Homo-oligomer: A and B are copies of this chain.
């Protein structure tokens, strides 16, 4: 099923040391800590595929994950990126509506859906957490629709950077785990336009590029202004 130099391994001891990022806490995270199984996925390895039955819920421990859909001719739309502390795959349906892959080598915790749902029956607070995680996914998708349907390239890149900025605890040094190609497929642009727009933002003194994957937010307010 996996055409790549795929490698994913169940893992008791061989857990990759996680950079000390502040990770969101929630009833869900606790559940993962209790009943979750830790696995590592190499970059670009599939975690689940579209139309597969939903068997697990997932939490990113380290690394990053993208969910996406592809058209027959290869055009790809990335739905969301998940960073450490984020949970994904909580879709209510019985089958996945999209696919998930590791963006970079990632450590992921899996909890069996059936087990979590059984716990929900005994713990209403957990049900609440699950429901609200699903809600925030929907809300993010709705915001994303506004970006794709109605924003210019510069506005799209600005909202993307602001989103990452916020999710990395507003630290002005942003580490991008994903390629320009991923960003382009998330924003509905080409890699060239993403690259040019990042250069433009740099020339406007909104950001500084240290390397392609590391940048400094010099003016969050300028980015917010562009966020329309």
Q: Which residues of A line the B interface, CB within 8 A?
A: 69, 71-73, 75-77, 79, 91-93, 97-98, 131-132, 134-139, 141-146, 148-151, 185, 187-188, 228
Contact B139 A138 (CB under 8 A): no
Please measure, in the bound complex, the distance between the C-alpha atom of A104 and the C-alpha atom of B185, giving whole angstroms: 36
Contact B145 A144 (CB under 8 A): yes
Question: Which applies to chain A's interface (DSSP): helix, strand, loop or mixed?
Answer: helix
Residue of B nearest to A68 (CB): B146
Contact A138 B137 (CB under 8 A): yes
Contact A146 B77 (CB under 8 A): yes
Residue of B nearest to A133 (CB): B92
Contact A139 B69 (CB under 8 A): no
Known: A138-B97, A139-B91, A139-B97. A77 touches B131 (CB 8 A): no
**Least distance between A16 CB and chain B CB atoms (Å):** 30
Contact B97 A150 (CB under 8 A): no
Contact A92 B134 (CB under 8 A): yes
Copies in the complex: 2
**Least distance between A227 CB and chain B CB atoms (Å):** 9
Contact B141 A92 (CB under 8 A): no
Contact B136 A138 (CB under 8 A): no
Residue of B nearest to A127 (CB): B127
**Least distance between A178 CB and chain B CB atoms (Å):** 15
Known: A71-B150, A146-B71, A150-B71. A93 touches B141 (CB 8 A): no
Known: A98-B142, A138-B97, A141-B138. A228 touches B72 (CB 8 A): yes
**Least distance between A162 CB and chain B CB atoms (Å):** 15
Please measure, in the bound complex, the distance between the C-alpha atom of A164 and the C-alpha atom of B97, giving whole angstroms: 20
**Least distance between A13 CB and chain B CB atoms (Å):** 37
Give which listed residue, B69, B134, B146, B188, contacts A134 with CB less than 8 A. Answer: B134
Give which listed residue, B75, B76, B141, B151, contacts A228 with CB less than 8 A. Answer: B75
Which B residues lie within 8 Å of A148 (CB)? 145, 148-149, 188
Contact A97 B145 (CB under 8 A): no
The residue in A141, A144, A145 that gathers the most chain B C-beta atoms within 10 A of its C-beta is A145
